[in-house]
Amino acid sequence: MKQPLRVLAGMLATLLASAMAAWAYEETTVMDGGTLTGKVTLAGEVPKPKGYNLTTLPDAIYCGRISDGRGWRLLQPFHVGSNGAFQDVVVLIEGIEKGKPFLDFKTPRIEALDCRFMPFTTIVRDQHDVAVVNMDPAMHDIQAYETSHLGPRVLFNVPLPISQRYPHEAGLSAHFQKHYEGTPMTQTVKMTKGRRVFVMQCGFHAYMESWALTVDDPYYAITDKEGRFTIGDVPSGTYRVLVWHPYIAGGGAREFTVTIQPKVQTTLDVQIPAPTGRLYANQMVENPFVRYNITEDVQSQIVPSLEKQAY
């Protein structure tokens, strides 16, 4: 795992190991349950993205279809819409020992698509599967970790096969737009006790990341493009609510207390201060200094034909 990611993962796990207790959850029918709803916003300036010079990594031409036009690929962990709407934030109600079944939980599917792991944040369950599939004509590699305050531990490291439907030259072309599904790689998530953060990174393309939080019950939601979330069929009671994103300051999580009443909709609107200062070693700057010997011919082939990134 790259060093900045290693440090961040350790910080997240330290907080979550103390904040989240593992319950022996019992599934039942919830009568007269309440609902928790709300919106998460990011207050302040959205942090700068990470920057990766494509000429130093494989598949510069194909992956450069998403780039800044100067040979750099950006990774923006903060997906923020209008009025600060904060997308891809996990909201989790803690301490519910008995409640609704896990009926809606399906094996999480993470796609390598246009040299990105999608989605950026998701949910996994301990001792359950996660599926990762390559949709690109470029070779990818899964490096998956669990984390704790003692540091990360490798869960699995496997290659992602390319679909045989791609022509041999597809990965070299910036104009190849089709996506064919490779053989899905299904792995069982086996977390060590006290470890809750799951993270994946591509071993070839460092700008490909995907994060997940391990859950013990179905009382969670992930915020949409408007920053909104809804969690239903909640047994009445007073609970701690965890609001989590891997890159927010203070270890990745905020805690709140809510009281849920029968058949009542409770609103929890959360405003998270935007982190300030330098968040990562490779934070993008306006005029990045380049130490690499980049010829004009190579540079001219890296064309942001799919998305021109800005910062």
| Cα 85–Cα 88–Cα 90 angle in degrees, nearest 5 | 110
* pLDDT of the residue at 22: 46
Q: What's the rounded Cα separation, in Å, for the pair 29 and 10?
A: 38
Query: What is the pLDDT confidence band of residue 24, given thresholds at 50, 70 and 90?
Result: confident
251 has pLDDT over 80 = no
Token pair for residue 120?
A: 């950026």
pLDDT digits (tens, 9 = 90+) for 38-85: 999 999 999 999 999 998 899 999 999 999 988 899 999 999 999 999
pLDDT digits (tens, 9 = 90+) for 94-108: 999 999 998 778 899
User: To the nearest whole number, what is the mean pLDDT of the chain?
Assistant: 88
pLDDT digits (tens, 9 = 90+) for 151-189: 789 999 999 999 999 887 776 776 778 899 999 999 999
35 has pLDDT over 80 = yes
Beta pairing, strands 98-99 & 26-27: parallel
Q: What's the rounded Cα separation, in Å, for the pair 235 and 91?
A: 17
**Cβ 233 vs Cβ 99: under 8 Å:** yes
Cis previous bond, 119, omega within 30: yes
Does this model's pTM top 0.95? My answer is: no
**Cβ 241 vs Cβ 36: under 8 Å:** yes
Query: What is the pLDDT confidence band of residue 268, given thresholds at 50, 70 and 90?
Result: very high
**Domain extents in the chain:** 3-308
Stretch 198-212: mean pLDDT, rounded? 96
Query: What is the pLDDT confidence band of residue 9, given thresholds at 50, 70 and 90?
Result: low
The rounded percent of the chain whose pLDDT value lies above 70 is 87
Per-residue DSSP letter, 180:
-
Rounded to a whole number of angstroms, the CA Rg of the chain reads: 20
* pLDDT of the residue at 222: 97
